[in-house]
Amino acid sequence: MQRVLRFLTLPRLLGLYVVLFCLVAVQNYLLGFGHYNNYLMFARPFHNLLLNESIYGLHPNLYDDNYKYSPTFAWLMGPFYYLPDIVGLILWNLLNTVVLLAGVWFYLNDEKDPTRQRRAALLIILMEALITAQNLQSNNLIVGAMLLGLYHLRNERVWQAAFFFVLCGFVKFYGVAAAGFFLFYPRKPQFILAMVVWTILFAIAPLTMIPLDNLLAEYKEWFNVIVVSKLGLQVSVMGIAQSWFGMAKTDGNYRVIEIVGATLFLLPFLRFGLWKDRLFQRRMVAYFLLFMIVFNKMAESPTYVLAVTGVALWWVTLDNPTRFDQILLGLVIVFTSLSPTDIFPQIVQKQFFQPYNIKALPCILVWARVQYQIWMQPSTANHQLQPTL
């Protein structure tokens, strides 16, 4: 293992991401339609826009399942509609990979040793990003765009930052939440203006194809879909509360857990004196990415690239990781990232890992550890973050 890690220098690791993620796209194509329905659900709603028909509801002639994304996302995916499936699959995974790599690369550009920390972060993220790529999901793109937005935000490029945050919001609604970190940085009025302008521009983009009344009806349908969407596998605190402690699956119980999680997440923001502290900002970003998944009732395995990216960003903030920190990272790698793979027998996965939501547990522990470190950080710390070009 040590020999493999030494071989995987940063340039080789970047190349591995690109090659590996393109290969899994080809694998899905060779396995047939049933293995790349997620991609078809992204690329083919554009067909309905061309016909001025609703993109929501069932369209078995185009793809299985219900489309749950925005009209703007269907519009943005237009170029993929015209591509042969094999080409589109490869380019879709390539796009997601490049955005993820760019996000990690630029977000960590002002670290003490960016080459080492980029390599460490990408090694930690690799397996989870691969799971997302195998499922042809958009989560690699989402987390990469979030990090690019945060990179531009801390460098006071508010228009570029707002672009990436709004893009996230029109792909997966919760992705825009990262924009809340504008509180830590200057140029707040300009950023709010940029968010409003980009939101309007993204929202009206499909008007190039359909009338305003139809577009408004599509947005109404989108919000209805979001509200009534079926729960995911609940690989989260909710799933653990149900499988470990027998909590009933009710909206009331979910709301209680969500309120507790949101309260715990928001409390560290009360440390106003640390808002401009570089280490505090970095920890809060890691804390946020973990929170987005471990307290999400829709969480499932392909979404965990966000949580594990949070783990990776937490890890690179540690100058001298304790033995406990090392154990936590090991638990994430083994029980979060490797538990769905063929390393473990199917009987173990189906009778232990899956029913007891073991995948979520290490990330919940890291989330608690990051919260402890945030609260224990001295108020007199001086890790000021300077804008970088």
Residues 194, 235, single domain; the answer is no
Residues 262, 121, single domain; the answer is no
| Residue 230: predicted pLDDT | 56
| Residue 354: predicted pLDDT | 87
Residues 207, 323, single domain; the answer is no
Residues 31, 174, single domain; the answer is yes
Which tokens hold the place of 25?
A: 């796209």
Residues 67, 177, single domain; the answer is yes
Residues 174, 250, single domain; the answer is no
Beta-bridge partners for 277: 384
- Domains identified in the chain, total number: 2
Which tokens hold the place of 145?
A: 């765009």
Which tokens hold the place of 294?
A: 């471990």
Last residue of a domain, one of 229, 264, 291: 229
How confident is the prediction along the chain (389 residues), in pLDDT tens digits per residue?
677 778 889 999 999 999 999 999 999 999 988 899 999 999 999 999 999 999 998 888 899 888 989 999 999 999 999 999 999 999 999 999 999 999 999 999 988 899 999 999 999 999 999 999 999 999 999 999 999 999 999 999 999 999 999 999 999 888 899 999 999 999 999 999 999 999 999 999 999 999 999 999 999 999 888 877 655 567 889 989 998 988 888 878 888 999 999 999 999 999 999 999 999 999 999 999 999 999 988 888 889 999 999 999 999 999 999 999 999 999 999 999 998 888 889 899 888 988 889 999 999 999 999 999 999 999 865 554 444 33
Residues 128, 139, single domain; the answer is yes
Torsion of CA 236, 174, 305, 85, to 10 degrees: 120
Residues 108, 236, single domain; the answer is no
Residues 210, 337, single domain; the answer is no
Last residue of a domain, one of 212, 229, 246: 229
Residues 310, 321, single domain; the answer is yes
Residues 191, 82, single domain; the answer is yes
Phi/psi of residue 325, nearest 5 degrees: -60, -45
| Residue 389: predicted pLDDT | 33
| Residue 232: predicted pLDDT | 58
Torsion of CA 24, 344, 141, 365, to 10 degrees: -170
Last residue of a domain, one of 229, 248, 271: 229
Residues 169, 244, single domain; the answer is no
Four-residue CA torsion sign, 153, 155, 158, 163:
negative
Dihedral-angle region of residue 57 (phi above 0 means left; psi in -120 to 50 means alpha; beta otherwise): left
Residue type, 367: W
Residue type, 272: F
Domain assignment of residue 57, given as a range? 1-229
